[in-house]
A and B are shown apart, each in its own frame.
Chain A
């Protein structure tokens, strides 16, 4: 069912099972046949936990999406709403419930994900429907197992909430999620952190731990260290174009809840006898995770190394198919046949990824992509960051997508520790004139979170940070990497460098740089019950959970996986984040009325 969750160092399937158990318990609470009315947004995250079969086993007979008006008819005993605690959804639910047939009453339930909210319940009361609900419950879905070494809260707007709106609810959920995790995997003895939000989450965890002091879990700690990182400690990394295979898939097509939708033309099924079959018009939807052997192998490679890996794989597979000529005896043929399903799966996986790689290659080899990447790399190495970039200017004149412009301007600002007032004003004017004055709001938001700012009197400290942390590696090896900088073909993500230095030689060696980055850095220790102290075998790796508050990119994940797999690293990483992001989705989350600006 969820084989991709077993393969990591930590069995994250325990977490998934716990979540499934909760879900079953709730469903059984509403006895009898039922229909689920879904908050559309939740179907993706729930898909990571459970399949429809699980719901069906618990008498879920129909499923609908939540929308105004009446619930479509269904001969069921219960109606169950699965919703996020949002006021606008409450209004729809109230309308749904109010138009229920009074003559044939059905039991109505509501399940809030991830937390119930008094505010929402009050709204339901105001609408006069609160008493119609038989069950009001919450389904704690904080950290969702996403892959064998990856957890996500799938909380889209977390960065915006924390850094722009000062709403720390998602941090509370993060802390709660970490408490749940510790209940399942044991207390994490060491907590490190950098940034305001990290400090806040650590504080909440320590307080929660005090409160539940009585109910210590008697579990041998699985994690040795927790590292909490604020996204705003490293604003640069998500702005850069990711150059790993998975990163590029996300940049170009967008991965949501582990799925990607691709243009169908390249995936037309070549079935025999159906020569005239029309090309599919619906996008091709693929699930991407490490359960797919080939994908697990190539996802974290620099894209320039993917072609070679694919052709190598192709040779292996065709060799395997050739084996049939060597199969002489019945036994050999039987053995060959038994391997066929596996081989066929491998072949179709190869076909899929070859097609995806072709799609990506069309883009990465374009002049546009090259120019844009060149400018990014110039900024990251500190070239001409204090002047107006003619490339950005040209992009604005050509009315390229606004998000692309904002990504580049923000990157220039971050790499220059703020733009000269004159330069900033110039960009702002050009953007407002070309894309509309209403973007005053978006520009203001970017300023508030620190992505865009005027240069202060302080001197530009980015070069110091770059040099000390070796953020730019001139000779990044894309084919056989020896450093994390391969994920951006030269740029080593700051966040992952911090993680790397923490493991060895320790943050004390970079005190100066840590002070230049925003927010406090700290270390806390949690008491582990006696008898549960881990006795490490010589040569056994430590396990560190790195939690990105405000989102993580696929390239950063790749870099951490690279560190885990390094022979002498001594540390293996499990990654958690509020959300998987890329520069585009991130900037978009900070825009006001973004839907209007997309081309």
Chain B
């Protein structure tokens, strides 16, 4: 590689052509680095034995020579910057003539002509014949095939084999449909699509749609083709014409995934509301829109919020596009206790999005426990009965409540209270054991009159701790009639 002279540099820099062969080293380096990074992200070195080897000349080893590995290797060999870090290549293939005499392609493909070259000659093909078909293939060299007067069968066969063909002679609707049916009959998607492109150009939309409705396979290929080409509008139109309005609505809705800007996304979702979704989906899409609208408002105000809680626990990420449960959690974390009138209050969100009591309690519990607001946790489960006594009630099992509290490192006193509320005695005992609520364990064993277990448990405790002494007292109590 020769280094370019300064004036050359100037030329290349000022010219709209980018120097290709005389690249600047830095540029090349960064480019390759990037490429290597891309390659590395998917490929892994197979062989960690030879890691230290700088230059690898032997490519024959099975794992070392794997293709994916080698892509990376050739990329890095250039990076080293040496003139030709790649080993000299023996141009006489040593293996190529061995092996089986079978060739897959020769079985079904016509042998391609030497130098055969295919192009879509449309308006400016190198011959003078005017064609409508975009997919006309003409051999660059070799005798001119007679292509103008072929049956649908022959034409399709030629298309399949990659030989020259012409679709222009299929003028009448009937001929065109025969051609389409023939293409469908050979199942070759490639050929079907080519014929469809021809029909799309030469038939009116209405007629094409009408004919496709009676041809299921062709129709599927057509929809697929339009999707591939990004002709969203036409697909929507087609689906509408087919009466597949729900598919159409969902397809339109799906577009929102490609919109990054939140205001535009919100407006787009709003435009989806009138689409013919199924009843359920209509509700979900409405919720989706309302949620994003709400999130945009909350985000705008919380971004500059100065309340104590935001200083103490700075927000890690924006709330935009988060699921509703995450949004509720956020609201329970930052906006707990706000009146129902505000958009950001948990109660408003709960009501607007019809969140079940179970989900609400779980979410609020998680958020308040995270903040160690045990008082809030407490009041979540308080219910007053008609006599005015408060009683603890939960739509989720108290064993789950305990798990969540423990995950948020609640102190033993708090845990103990909720372990005590677990209905199922087995769950209660296992919870108490798991979270070391000694009193509960001891009392349970006492109630079970299980002396053996008490003795076992005593051994796990610190000598002379209050719990230890408690067990001691129980064991010495002669009035208890132990079962063992």
Interface residues of chain A, those whose CB is within 8 Å of chain B, are 1, 14, 17-22, 24-25, 28, 33, 38, 40, 43-44, 46-47, 50-59, 61-65, 67, 69-70, 72-74, 87, 99-104, 115-119, 121-122, 125, 130-131, 134, 136-140, 165-169, 171-172, 175-176, 179-180, 183-184, 200, 203-204, 207, 212, 215, 261, 269, 280, 282-285, 287, 394, 397, 399, 425, 428, 430, 432-438, 440-441, 444, 592-593
In the assembled complex, how far is the CB of residue B268 from the closest CB belonging to chain A, in whole angstroms?
A: 12
The answer to whether A140 and B135 have CB atoms under 8 Å apart is no
**Who on chain B is nearest to A32 by CB?**
B91
The answer to whether B45 and A282 have CB atoms under 8 Å apart is yes
User: Which chain B residues lie closer than 8 Å to A136 at the CB level?
Assistant: 117-118
Closest 8 CB pairs of A and B: A101-B20, A52-B70, A437-B288, A43-B68, A51-B65, A285-B44, A17-B100, A18-B102
The answer to whether B35 and A64 have CB atoms under 8 Å apart is yes
In the assembled complex, how far is the CB of residue B284 from the closest CB belonging to chain A, in whole angstroms?
A: 5
**Who on chain B is nearest to A35 by CB?**
B74
> For the complex, is B410 an interface residue (Cβ under 8 Å from A)?
no
Proximity string of chain B (101-112) to chain A, C-beta cutoff 8 Å, 1 when within and 0 when not: 111110110001
Q: Which of B23, B102, B162, B253 contacts A21 (CB 8 A)?
A: B102
In the assembled complex, how far is the CB of residue B105 from the closest CB belonging to chain A, in whole angstroms?
A: 5
Q: How far is the CA of A105 from the CA of B378 in the complex (A)?
A: 77
> For the complex, is B46 an interface residue (Cβ under 8 Å from A)?
yes
User: Which chain A residues lie closer than 8 Å to B284 at the CB level?
Assistant: 432, 437, 440
User: Which chain A residues lie closer than 8 Å to B69 at the CB level?
Assistant: 52
Interface set, chain B 356-413, CB cutoff 8 A to A? 358-359, 362, 396, 400
**Who on chain A is nearest to B363 by CB?**
A397
The answer to whether A593 and B257 have CB atoms under 8 Å apart is yes
User: Which chain A residues lie closer than 8 Å to B135 at the CB level?
Assistant: 118, 121-122
Q: How far is the CA of A44 from the CA of B70 in the complex (A)?
A: 12
The answer to whether B118 and A184 have CB atoms under 8 Å apart is no
**Who on chain B is nearest to A74 by CB?**
B78
**Who on chain A is nearest to B121 by CB?**
A125
Interface set, chain B 207-251, CB cutoff 8 A to A? 217, 220-221, 223-225, 228-229, 250
Interface set, chain B 150-203, CB cutoff 8 A to A? 162, 185-191, 193-194, 197
Number of interface residues of B (CB under 8 A): 99
User: Which chain B residues lie closer than 8 Å to A102 at the CB level?
Assistant: 17
Interface set, chain B 87-119, CB cutoff 8 A to A? 89-91, 93-96, 99-105, 107-108, 112, 117-119
In the assembled complex, how far is the CB of residue A181 from the closest CB belonging to chain B, in whole angstroms?
A: 10
The answer to whether A72 and B193 have CB atoms under 8 Å apart is no
Most chain B beta carbons < 10 A, residue from A18, A100, A204: A18
* Given A63-B74, A168-B187, A285-B46, A212:B20 Cβ within 8 A: no
Q: Which of A57, A139, A433 contacts B95 (CB 8 A)?
A: A57
> For the complex, is B285 an interface residue (Cβ under 8 Å from A)?
yes
User: Which chain B residues lie closer than 8 Å to A131 at the CB level?
Assistant: 119
> For the complex, is B48 an interface residue (Cβ under 8 Å from A)?
yes
In the assembled complex, how far is the CB of residue A381 from the closest CB belonging to chain B, in whole angstroms?
A: 24
Most chain B beta carbons < 10 A, residue from A58, A59, A432: A432
The answer to whether B103 and A65 have CB atoms under 8 Å apart is no
The answer to whether B62 and A1 have CB atoms under 8 Å apart is yes
**Who on chain A is nearest to B407 by CB?**
A398
User: Which chain A residues lie closer than 8 Å to B70 at the CB level?
Assistant: 52, 55, 63
User: Which chain B residues lie closer than 8 Å to A116 at the CB level?
Assistant: 162, 190
Most chain A beta carbons < 10 A, residue from B70, B285, B288, B362: B70
The answer to whether A21 and B100 have CB atoms under 8 Å apart is yes
The answer to whether A437 and B291 have CB atoms under 8 Å apart is yes
* Given A53-B59, A87-B228, A59:B91 Cβ within 8 A: yes
Q: How far is the CA of A176 from the CA of B107 in the complex (A)?
A: 11
User: Which chain A residues lie closer than 8 Å to B104 at the CB level?
Assistant: 18-19, 22, 140, 180, 183
29 contacts between A and B (CB under 8 A): A1-B62, A18-B100, A20-B99, A47-B68, A52-B70, A55-B70, A57-B90, A62-B78, A63-B75, A64-B75, A67-B35, A67-B38, A72-B75, A87-B229, A118-B190, A119-B225, A122-B135, A125-B120, A166-B223, A167-B189, A176-B108, A183-B104, A184-B102, A207-B187, A269-B48, A432-B284, A437-B287, A438-B257, A441-B254
The answer to whether B254 and A592 have CB atoms under 8 Å apart is yes
The answer to whether B89 and A56 have CB atoms under 8 Å apart is yes
In the assembled complex, how far is the CB of residue A535 from the closest CB belonging to chain B, in whole angstroms?
A: 25
The answer to whether A175 and B187 have CB atoms under 8 Å apart is yes
User: Which chain A residues lie closer than 8 Å to B89 at the CB level?
Assistant: 33, 56, 59, 61
* Given A65-B71, A122-B135, A441:B187 Cβ within 8 A: no
Most chain A beta carbons < 10 A, residue from B117, B225, B284, B287: B284
Q: How far is the CA of A285 from the CA of B46 in the complex (A)?
A: 6
The answer to whether A180 and B107 have CB atoms under 8 Å apart is yes
**Who on chain B is nearest to A215 by CB?**
B107
> For the complex, is B18 an interface residue (Cβ under 8 Å from A)?
yes
* Given A74-B78, A118-B135, A118-B193, A440:B60 Cβ within 8 A: no
**Who on chain A is nearest to B119 by CB?**
A130
Interface set, chain B 14-30, CB cutoff 8 A to A? 17-18, 20-21, 23, 28
Q: How far is the CA of A432 from the CA of B60 in the complex (A)?
A: 53
In the assembled complex, how far is the CB of residue B92 from the closest CB belonging to chain A, in whole angstroms?
A: 8
Q: Which of B48, B67, B256 contacts A280 (CB 8 A)?
A: B48
User: Which chain A residues lie closer than 8 Å to B256 at the CB level?
Assistant: 438
In the assembled complex, how far is the CB of residue A46 from the closest CB belonging to chain B, in whole angstroms?
A: 5
Q: How far is the CA of A59 from the CA of B96 in the complex (A)?
A: 12
The answer to whether B400 and A394 have CB atoms under 8 Å apart is yes
Most chain B beta carbons < 10 A, residue from A51, A69, A168, A200: A51
In the assembled complex, how far is the CB of residue B209 from the closest CB belonging to chain A, in whole angstroms?
A: 17
User: Which chain B residues lie closer than 8 Å to A51 at the CB level?
Assistant: 59, 62, 65-67
User: Which chain B residues lie closer than 8 Å to A44 at the CB level?
Assistant: 68
> For the complex, is B39 an interface residue (Cβ under 8 Å from A)?
yes
The answer to whether A437 and B103 have CB atoms under 8 Å apart is no
> For the complex, is B475 an interface residue (Cβ under 8 Å from A)?
no
The answer to whether B86 and A43 have CB atoms under 8 Å apart is no
In the assembled complex, how far is the CB of residue A295 from the closest CB belonging to chain B, in whole angstroms?
A: 15
The answer to whether A99 and B18 have CB atoms under 8 Å apart is yes
* Given A51-B62, A53-B59, A440-B250, A285:B45 Cβ within 8 A: yes
The answer to whether B99 and A433 have CB atoms under 8 Å apart is no
Q: Kindly list 6 other residue pairs between chains A and B, CB separation below 8 angstroms, not including A40-B42, A432-B287.
A: A20-B99, A22-B103, A57-B93, A58-B96, A121-B135, A438-B288
**Who on chain B is nearest to A445 by CB?**
B250
Q: Which of B100, B112, B358 contacts A137 (CB 8 A)?
A: B112
Q: Which of A19, A72, A179, A280 contacts B32 (CB 8 A)?
A: A72
Q: Which of A168, A183, A432 contacts B189 (CB 8 A)?
A: A168
* Given A14-B102, A57-B93, A592-B257, A70:B62 Cβ within 8 A: no
Q: How far is the CA of A501 from the CA of B347 in the complex (A)?
A: 59
> For the complex, is B342 an interface residue (Cβ under 8 Å from A)?
no
User: Which chain A residues lie closer than 8 Å to B250 at the CB level?
Assistant: 440-441, 444
Q: Which of A63, A72, A169, A261 contacts B31 (CB 8 A)?
A: A72
Q: How far is the CA of A586 from the CA of B194 in the complex (A)?
A: 31
The answer to whether A53 and B254 have CB atoms under 8 Å apart is no
In the assembled complex, how far is the CB of residue A167 from the closest CB belonging to chain B, in whole angstroms?
A: 5
The answer to whether A47 and B67 have CB atoms under 8 Å apart is yes
* Given A17-B102, A592-B257, A57:B96 Cβ within 8 A: yes
User: Which chain A residues lie closer than 8 Å to B414 at the CB level?
Assistant: none
User: Which chain B residues lie closer than 8 Å to A140 at the CB level?
Assistant: 104-105, 108
Proximity string of chain B (442-475) to chain A, C-beta cutoff 8 Å, 1 when within and 0 when not: 0000000000000000000000000000000000
Q: How far is the CA of A43 from the CA of B67 in the complex (A)?
A: 6
The answer to whether A65 and B288 have CB atoms under 8 Å apart is no
The answer to whether A434 and B93 have CB atoms under 8 Å apart is no
User: Which chain A residues lie closer than 8 Å to B185 at the CB level?
Assistant: 207
User: Which chain B residues lie closer than 8 Å to A57 at the CB level?
Assistant: 90, 93-96
> For the complex, is B281 an interface residue (Cβ under 8 Å from A)?
yes
User: Which chain A residues lie closer than 8 Å to B355 at the CB level?
Assistant: 433
* Given A25-B103, A56-B59, A99-B18, A122:B197 Cβ within 8 A: yes
In the assembled complex, how far is the CB of residue A20 from the closest CB belonging to chain B, in whole angstroms?
A: 6
